[in-house]
Structure 1
């Protein structure tokens, strides 16, 4: 049976957040929080691969008026995000639509001011990643921004502990979620080929995790 990294995280949905917290502390959350101020007020936002809904809750807590499309390929993750959304008691002016699937479910007429890929792009082999990023680029308005948070070591040569952690992650998620990739992508090359420039960034977890804002050149 072929592997499907898009939906494999359904099996880890019950414990993914706790596992990430155990290994990385609050670094992954801090990376995503760094990106929130770059989301314009009264904008259309695509969150793809958002997982169990922690980021969705943070978007709503910004107090901004947002039209959010929340896409995830894992039914278990999407259901958790829905339940988390239902549990939000604070009044807000966000409109949220949930959609099960991948970037393939995006319609040609759907355009977004902001695209957020929280720890998503590291899952894919180069060809599949290129297809994904091309689709998301087409869905982003010309003046829109791409908010990126992911594992992206910046220290060269890469410290041994980061290499070991990368190997451990891919080995584990290949076993439990059928992730095909075995190494981190060359994100910079992909963004450059698609005509994006980095406009802001912040490092976390001793340089192993990056939060970056990209816009078209």
Structure 2
């Protein structure tokens, strides 16, 4: 999938999300971040424009590190611009799409926000295999994404087909998230719902 096509929407992505989804989209990105502790290692994949990156940098402190992996160069630049000079050294920015080339550290946290819904099932399986090799036995994973909700089917259809047209999104539907996490050895810890459950933030623990 040509994920770098998201460069085409980088300049209006946040405004579009606010117009269509309201404040729930932004609020969902901050869910469970207060559980991250000083000194921890975070793998943040598909962070987009990184509006929550300053908070996360404050959470890990100077002893921790965030590896921010993003396919869109333009979105990554926006994310860099979110940080203060005091926070920059806490983040390693990686412009890549190949999950097999993820950093080889053992991470305490994995964060994917509005990422899995643009990956094929095969790509999701590949991502889990790569992450399981790079996470501690006590690791947590914060998933934020869209979930099937009958009352939002029309808007969901429009969004999926818009991004299929603009970015070559391979999906016609949403992934079976919970099945993937169970299959690859992650246990649900807690979740928060937004917009009637159409958006969820879910915290899993490696089991």
TM over 0.5: yes
Q: CA RMSD in A?
A: 1.8
* Distance (whole Å) between structure 2 residues aligned to residue 47 and residue 166 of structure 1: 25
Equivalent residue, structure 1, for 2:179 = 189
Cα offset for 1:63? 7.1
* Distance (whole Å) between structure 2 residues aligned to residue 38 and residue 7 of structure 1: 31
- Measured against aligned partners, the alpha-carbon deviations of 1:36-58 in whole angstroms (never above 9, x if no partner) come to 12212210011110001212123
Contact 1:64–1:94, Cα closer than 8 Å, also in 2: no
Cα offset for 1:62? 4.2
2:99 equivalent to 1:106? no
Cα offset for 1:162? 1.4
Equivalent residue, structure 1, for 2:79 = 81
Equivalent residue, structure 2, for 1:174 = 164
- Match 1:126 to one of 121, 129, 136: 121
- Extract unaligned runs of 5+ from structure 1: none
Cα offset for 1:139? 1.5
Q: Structure 1 residue runs of 4+, over 6 Å off? A: none
- Secondary structure of the 2:189 match is strand
Mapping for residues 201-216 of structure 1, pairs under 5 Å = 201-216=191-206
Cα offset for 1:26? 1.2
Equivalent residue, structure 2, for 1:68 = 66
How many pairs does the alignment contain? Answer: 205
2:36 equivalent to 1:46? no
Where relative contact order (Cα < 8 A, 6+ residues apart) is larger, the structure is: 1
Contact 1:63–1:93, Cα closer than 8 Å, also in 2: no
- Extract unaligned runs of 5+ from structure 2: none
